[in-house]
Amino acid sequence: MAPILSVRQLEKTYEGGFQALKSVSLDIQKGEVFALLGPNGAGKTTLISAICGLVKPTSGTVTVGGFDIQSDFRKARQLIGLVPQEMPTAPFEIVGDSVAFSRGLFGLRPDRSKIDAILKDLTLYEKRTSQIMALSGGMKRRLLVAKALAHEPQILFLDEPTAGVDVELRHDMWRIVGRLRDTGVTIILTTHYIEEAEEMADRVGVINKGEIILVENKTELMRKLGRKVLTLTLAEPLAEIPGSLAEFDLTLSEDKHFLTYAYDTQAERTGITSLMSALAAAGIRFQDLQTDQSSLEDIFVDLVRNGEASGL
């Protein structure tokens, strides 16, 4: 199936010469939730802005639903909804009117029943006659989502939807994304919280310094790059790691009760068997053992650090 969004060799150099995007290419499939992960200043907002027509690309092409964002901007933009990173709202506007306004910009009449349905969906219906400045931060965020959905777009961009919000609001946002995904909306979100990508995304792209350094199915990514940690609960505390175990990457906990061993699940030999024998030979007994998969967080930190080391 043709991707719903296709970015080809997109470059952006801002006035002043800073290159924020370096030949970015990316395909997004219909219906997927894609998380664009990257540290601050990586170029996430620039990429979204270029796709949505808020920033002029220096070179490269973008098509949305097969429509070029420049030569066919009306058709391309009709498919897109955008919730920007900042929460720009007109303080004196009325909530319901504001959603109707967004809908109107996309050439649609202010269909009351549709607007009410969107407001109800985002639990803003009770506030439909309030001024925007009377809304709490969380409500404002939901209003921005409502406005972005007012023209029933097929692709929704959420630029850092949960930056600086409390836990409750974050889970609220996750639920909204989940519901939208169920209705078939393609979602592209940016975040620097790994937890978020892990929770919501089907695929993850990592961007750093204007370059996409990796795009991978989330589970695949975790399997591929995942490291596991084996934790042994010792029968008796150990004063120090004996020299005979020096070849293993072991760490002794401060309370001397736990030994941890990190290993690569993809390596040909995990080294667990030989570790077990070496432990037995050293007379170290343990009561329990447990393995943990590393999170996207660790993977991400690794990737960015390696990228830096190799001069990316």
Ligand X SMILES: Nc1ncnc2c1ncn2[C@@H]1O[C@H](COP(=O)(O)OP(=O)(O)O)[C@@H](O)[C@H]1O
d(CA 135, CA 158): 20
Closer residue to ligand X in complex, CB, 14/73 = 14
Strands 203-208 and 211-217: antiparallel
The residue within the footprint of Mg ion, chosen from 4, 45, 64, 197 (CB under 5 A), is 45
108 binds, among another protein, Mg ion, ligand X, none (CB under 5 to 8 A by kind): another protein
The verdict on 282 binding another protein (CB under 8 A) reads no
**Cα R_g (the chain), whole angstroms:** 24
What does 18 interact with, of another protein, ligand X, Mg ion, none (CB < 5 to 8 A by kind)? Answer: ligand X
Phi, then psi, of 110 in degrees rounded to 5: -75, 75
Minimum CB separation of residue 137 from another protein in Å reads 15
Residue 41 or residue 66: which is nearer to Mg ion going by CB?
41
Contact (Cβ atoms closer than 8 angstroms) between residue 196 and residue 35: yes
117 binds, among ligand X, another protein, Mg ion, none (CB under 5 to 8 A by kind): none
Nearer to ligand X, 60 or 110 (CB): 60
**By the rule CB under 8 A, 269 interacts with another protein:** no
Q: Is 161 in the site for ligand X (CB under 6 A)?
A: no
User: Does residue 56 bind another protein (CB under 8 A)?
Assistant: yes
Judged by CB under 8 A, how many residues of this single chain contact another protein? 35
73 binds ligand X (CB under 6 A): no
Under the binding rule (CB under 5 A), the answer on residue 46 touching Mg ion is no
Closer CB to ligand X, residue 95 or residue 148? 148
- Give me the residues that bind ligand X (CB under 6 A), please: 14, 16, 18, 20, 38, 40-46
Site residues (vs Mg ion, CB under 5 A): 44-45, 85
Q: Where on the chain is the footprint of another protein (CB under 8 A)? A: 14-15, 52-56, 73-75, 77-78, 80, 82, 84, 86, 88-93, 97, 100-110, 147
